[in-house]
Amino acid sequence: MKVKDVMTKNIITVKPDTPVKDIADIFLKHNIGGVPVVDENGELTGIVTESDLIVKDIKIHFPTYIQLLDAIIYLGGIKRFEEEFRKAIGATAEQVMTKNVYTVKPESDIEEAATLMFEKHISRIPVVEGKKVVGIISKRDIIKSIVGESESNKE
């Protein structure tokens, strides 16, 4: 069986300047865990996954403070905190995406995609023709194909 037989064809993509908040909203709204990042020509530039949103470059160090009577005195200044917070809120796909993306072609065997997922510890792989994204294959797609094969074998 080929990747094109089981891949998701109607995929959601984002642009490099898509805000992280919008990407998180897309994940929740569509119950997905990753989106390819494409340029204005539809060419793959990266992928953003749930892991990218959780661990990449968005670290906020809350300022240390003391409270004296009714006043709060920040030690080390609040400016650094404000800059880090602004960065976290304003982070974009390009800032958090994985740039070295493993891909497969529509004509690749499903076994190739499954092996790549297993060896590289990834859950989804963009399917490309040239540099253009034409689909995405996930572990769930592969499992559906296995269940479908076993169902057809019962008949």
Banded model confidence at residue 144, pLDDT cuts 50, 70, 90:
confident
Quick one: pLDDT at residue 8? 93
Domain boundaries, the chain: 3-154
pTM of the complete model beyond 0.75: no
Quick one: pLDDT at residue 48? 92
Whether the Cβ atoms of residue 22 and residue 44 lie closer than 8 Å to each other: no
Whether the Cβ atoms of residue 115 and residue 125 lie closer than 8 Å to each other: no
What is the Cα–Cα distance from 111 to 127, expressed in whole angstroms? 14
CA count, 13 A, side-chain hemisphere, 82 = 5
Residue-wise pLDDT tens digits, 38-52: 999 989 999 999 888
Quick one: pLDDT at residue 152? 47
Quick one: pLDDT at residue 80? 62
Helix or strand (DSSP H, E) at 106: none
Residue 153 burial (CB < 10 Å; 0-12/13-18/19+)? Answer: exposed
Quick one: pLDDT at residue 101? 95
Banded model confidence at residue 77, pLDDT cuts 50, 70, 90:
low
Write down the CATH superfamily of domain 3-154. Answer: CBS-domain (3.10.580.10)
Q: What is the mean pLDDT of the chain?
A: 82
What's the N-to-C CA distance of the chain in angstroms? 19
